[in-house]
A and B are shown apart, each in its own frame.
Chain A
Amino acid sequence: MKTNFKVFLKGIIDVSPLMIPVVPFGLIFGVLAIDVGFSPLETMGMSLIVFGGASQIVLLQLFSGGASSLVIISSVGAVNSRHLLYGAVVSEHLSDLKLIWKIIISYFLIDQAYAISNDYLKKNKDQNRYFHLVGAGTTCWVIWQSTTFLGIILGAAIPEKLGLSFAVPLTFLALLVNDFRKFINVIVIIVSGFVATLGYNYIPFKAYAIVAGLTGLLVAMILTKMVKTNE
């Protein structure tokens, strides 16, 4: 069995390539949070407390659009629901962990960390294998906090003319690159996008993200069902 530290180190090394896109994401978040009207302390607090890129950007986007707190919180919940599936897969490898470790590891359980550690956990059955997840998670944590901090500092120096807020839709677009090749996904993307855009001014409480998301899921349910009956 490898030492705890070696497994931890392996987690750091394995996750490093995945950190490249996190850098601009963190910078953009820091810059935009200040732009939208959060104080530097609140911005740093967001990265420390929430520690989730998609959650934080959704928070900013809806906050700047004047959505109510309840709508913002439930939209963040909706964005997070995508993790439930992957989590159920990872949890198989962590079921014999002590509760206190589950409480700690949960904070670090971001996409990049469990994507990379899932492979390791699958192949490795050592008692200390979850140190891999801790290593990957803390790496993401350090990168996320430091790029947020840099973004806060740079924010003042970046001219508004650059239109950096456009990086928000681009970042989410980038998260969908693998879905553009699948027919049903493309339909779902277009339907949800249209509902959100057309409903932006008409759906009450700025709940457009939730309404569009649910409509998209409904379309996915119908289409996947239709594909099956045709087979």
Chain B
Amino acid sequence: MSNWALIIYCGLITYLTRFSMIALIKKEMFNDRIREVLSYVPSAIFPAIIFPAIFLDSQGSILIADNPKIMAALIATIIGIFSRSIIATIFSGLASYWFIIFVI
């Protein structure tokens, strides 16, 4: 598949989700149980992007020792829990990452 086709398909599926949200899906279609489970979707899917990007090196092998990303992500998580701020989380993570690789 060409890059453009890939982009268009990803755009289509994103658009169709949004369209079905307001045009097809009604609140009554979800019972409390489905709603409860759907509320866990971000917690279930985002770690699949987060963890491999932190714990795997560019070859895809697990890297624990001498991996500055683990410490930086940990600091970002703690800052995130206390500040509840998206921007503080991102910047504290990047700042501590740079501090570890450039200063220490």
Complex partner residue of A78 from B18, B38, B45, CB under 8 angstroms = B45
Q: Is the CB of B25 within 8 A of A196?
A: no
Contacts of A229 in B (CB 8 A): none
Q: Is the CB of A177 within 8 A of B49?
A: no
Q: Mark interface residues in A69-95 (1 if CB within 8 Å of B CB, else 0).
A: 100110011111111111111111010
Q: Is the CB of A46 within 8 A of B44?
A: no
Contacts of A216 in B (CB 8 A): 40, 43-45, 47-48
CB distance from A22 to the nearest CB of B (A): 9
Contacts of A45 in B (CB 8 A): 4, 7
The B interface is mostly helix, strand or loop, or mixed, namely helix
Closest to A214 in B: B44
Complex partner residue of A170 from B4, B27, B93, CB under 8 angstroms = B93
CB distance from A126 to the nearest CB of B (A): 18
Q: Is the CB of A170 within 8 A of B30?
A: no
Asked if A185 CB lies within 8 Å of chain B CBs, one says yes
Q: Contacts A170-B93, A196-B51, A196-B52 hold; do A177 and B84 have CB atoms under 8 A apart?
A: yes
Asked if A58 CB lies within 8 Å of chain B CBs, one says yes
- CB-CB contacts below 8 Å: B1-44 with A: 1, 3-11, 13-15, 17-23, 25-27, 29-30, 35-44
> In the complex, A178→B77 CA distance in Å?
11
Q: Is the CB of A220 within 8 A of B49?
A: no
Complex partner residue of B14 from A80, A195, A197, A215, CB under 8 angstroms = A80
Complex partner residue of A49 from B11, B38, B86, B91, CB under 8 angstroms = B11
Interface size class of B (residues with CB under 8 A): 35 or more
- CB-CB contacts below 8 Å: A46-78 with B: 46, 49-52, 55-59, 61, 63, 65, 69, 72-73, 76-78
Q: Contacts A42-B3, A172-B49, A212-B47 hold; do A91 and B14 have CB atoms under 8 A apart?
A: no
Asked if A138 CB lies within 8 Å of chain B CBs, one says no
Q: Is the CB of B6 within 8 A of A174?
A: no
> In the complex, A201→B60 CA distance in Å?
7
- The 9 listed contacts between A and B (C-beta, < 8 Å) are A72-B6, A76-B13, A87-B18, A88-B27, A163-B101, A176-B50, A193-B51, A197-B51, A201-B60
**Which A residues form the contact surface with B (CB < 8 A)?**
20-21, 24, 38-39, 42, 45-46, 49-52, 55-59, 61, 63, 65, 69, 72-73, 76-92, 94, 97, 99, 102-103, 105-107, 109, 162-163, 165-181, 184-185, 188-190, 192-198, 200-201, 208-210, 212-217, 219-221, 224
